Amino acid sequence: MNSRAFLAAVIAAAALGAPGAVSADARAPERPQESQAVVQLVDHRATGMTLGDLITNPRRIHAEVLDGIAADPALLGARGELLLELRTQLEQSQLQRDWALGEQELRTQTIRQATNDLRERRAELADAEADEAAKRDRLQSMSVDAFVHNSDQPDLGSLLESNTENAPSRATELLRIDTLIQSAEQELVDQRDAAIAHRQTQQRHLDDAIARVEREQGLFDRAVATADEAEQTIASVEPRIGPAERRLERDLLLRTLPGTDNLQIVAVNAYFNASLIAHQQWPSCRISWNQLAGVGRVESFHGNFGASRVDAAGQTSPHILGPQLNGDPWLAIPDTDQGELDGDIEWDRAVGPMQFIPTSWSLFAGDGNGDGREDPHNLYDATVAAADHLCGSGLEHPDRFRRALLGYNRSVSYGHDVMDFADRYRQQATIQDPWVEEG
């Protein structure tokens, strides 16, 4: 190809436009979706949790009782702290697992997108490299052609000085062609440089695409590892929670409700149990747990009178016995039960934590713990009997409760004391009465 033919080809290519020219990337790399933060441990001690939040499957304490008592450190002890730690670990691991599964799903999508982008970037780089090579070949071909044919060009100076008739016009034509050749050569240099810049841009895009794939794969791998670790923790912790609940529940029964003198959880449970049974058997009798607690406090310090103590089943030992009702100064009530309840075959005595005389027990005896026995020395049985004794009409109204107490004990000061303690206890636990949900 001579210089004029090559020049014609270059000018024609320039007229069609340079396909490898640098331009703004119409498909800019997408910003990778941000990973959700891995869940952080929440300190439940600051969230007002209750015992019901710890013991979710109670066996011996009513759920309503547990839900109404704050998880005070004084109640929890070492076993409570252990259960709290286990529950916190379980909750955190469950949240981490859920996060990790969601993260895996997200990263699966982003890896697919990044991989597709990487494939396109590789193809675009290959096109850019091919275009750059073509531009270099054209420039090199023109340079070689110009070098080869330059020696054959006429001496323009001599041509202009000659006296031939067409010398000036030929010189002008040759100058014009030489200028076009130089211009075409510069055009090819510019196209080559543009192709180099375009190829470098595509290389950066490819490097970015590779980095995105690696980043998304790393996030996916982290999510898989987090899910595996969380599953292992769940598998380790979950079986330990049930036994830990049982141990804490047993301990709680003999612990004292914070803010009270000697009101143990077993007594609270017995009072609520009696309130529930009373509501089921006598719906119009709305006697609350704290009202029964007021009676139990005045009668026997909730079964802890003198040397007597209450065990986790509500049994009092030794038995609580009132003074002989021999008329000095109490009423005179000769023995009516042959000493079966009070061990006294001469005079009757009030018995048990709710202080029933044998004749009253024969009327109101109840089985609060479902063991088939009616035992006045057991808190569960005695509190059901006390609820029966007090129930006449709805007792949620203070005046009605006050009148009912006069039937239980004819002392006005006794009634004042009971109601005072009942109000105090109501403030120490937010236990929902059995009938509340009925509206």
Contact 303, 316 (CB under 8 A): yes
Q: How far apart are CA 430 and CA 410, in angstroms?
A: 30
Mean per-residue pLDDT over the chain, rounded? 83
> Confidence class of residue 11 from pLDDT cuts 50, 70 and 90?
very low
> Predicted confidence band at 394 (pLDDT cuts at 50, 70, 90)?
very low
Task: Lowest mean pLDDT of 12-16, 158-162, 289-293, 317-321, name the range.
Answer: 12-16
Q: Which range (67-81, 334-348, 405-419) has the least confidence?
A: 405-419
Give the pLDDT of residue 147.
Answer: 64
List Cβ<8 Å contacts ≥24 apart for 57-61: 57/242, 57/245, 58/245, 58/249, 59/246, 59/249, 60/249, 60/250, 60/253, 60/269, 60/312, 61/249, 61/252, 61/253, 61/265, 61/269
- State mean pLDDT over 32-40: 49
Determine contact, residues 71/252, Cβ cutoff 8 Å.
no
Report DSSP state, residue 316. Answer: E
When pLDDT is cut at 50, 70 and 90, the band that residue 176 belongs to is: low
pLDDT band at 26 (very low <50, low <70, confident <90, very high): very low
Asked if the model's pLDDT at residue 8 lies above 70, the reply is no
- How far apart CA 409 and CA 213 sit, in angstroms, is 83
pLDDT value at residue 115:
95
Q: What is the pLDDT of residues 294-327, one digit of tens each?
A: 999 999 999 999 999 999 999 999 999 999 999 8
Q: In which band, very low, low, confident or very high, does the pLDDT at 173 lie, cut at 50, 70 and 90?
A: low
For residue 155, name the pLDDT band (cuts at 50, 70, 90): low
Q: Tell me, what's the pLDDT at 405?
A: 75
Lowest-confidence range among 23-27, 78-82, 192-196?
23-27
Asked whether 63 and 52 are in contact (CB, 8 A), the reply is yes
For 14-21, what is the mean pLDDT? 36
Q: What is the pLDDT of residue 429?
A: 94
pLDDT interval class at 137 (50, 70, 90): confident
Q: What local confidence, expressed as pLDDT, does residue 213 receive?
A: 95
Range picked from 41-50, 151-160, 275-284, 370-379 for highest mean pLDDT: 370-379
Answer whether 30's CB lies under 8 Å from 142's CB.
Answer: no
Which of 340, 2, 251 is closest to 145 using CA atoms?
2
* pLDDT level of residue 150 (50, 70, 90 thresholds): low
Task: Let me know the angle formed at the C-alpha of 190 by 187 and 129, rounded to the nearest 5 degrees.
Answer: 120
- List residues bridging with 321 in a β-sheet: 351
Tell me how far apart the terminal alpha carbons of the chain are, to the nearest angstrom: 103
pLDDT at 32 over 50: no
> Residues 206-221: what's their mean pLDDT?
95
C-alpha to C-alpha distance for 94 and 390, rounded to whole angstroms:
49
Mean pLDDT of the region 394-416: 73
Q: How confident is the model at residue 24 (pLDDT cuts 50, 70, 90)?
A: very low
pLDDT bracket for residue 184 (50, 70, 90): confident
- 135-139, 178-182, 339-343, 425-429: which has the minimum mean pLDDT? 178-182
Per-residue pLDDT of 256-266, as tens digits, reads 999 998 899 99
3-state secondary structure string across 67-109: HCCECCHHHHHHHHHHHHHHHHHHHHHHHHHHHHHHHHHHHHH
Return the exposure string of 254-276: e unless at least 16 CB atoms fall within 10 Å of the residue's CB, then b.
ebbbeebeebbbbbbbbbbbbbb
How far is the C-alpha of 323 from the C-alpha of 329, rounded, in Å?
A: 10
| CATH number for the domain formed by residue range(s) 50-253 | 1.10.287
CB 36 within 8 A of CB 223: no
**Which of 145-159, 219-233, 319-333 is predicted with the least confidence, judged by mean pLDDT?**
145-159
* Domain residue spans of the chain: 50-253, 265-434
Is pLDDT of 230 > 70? Answer: yes
Task: Of 93-102, 104-113, 324-333, 400-409, give the lowest mean pLDDT range.
Answer: 400-409
Let me know: does 44 contact 53? Beta carbons within 8 Å: yes
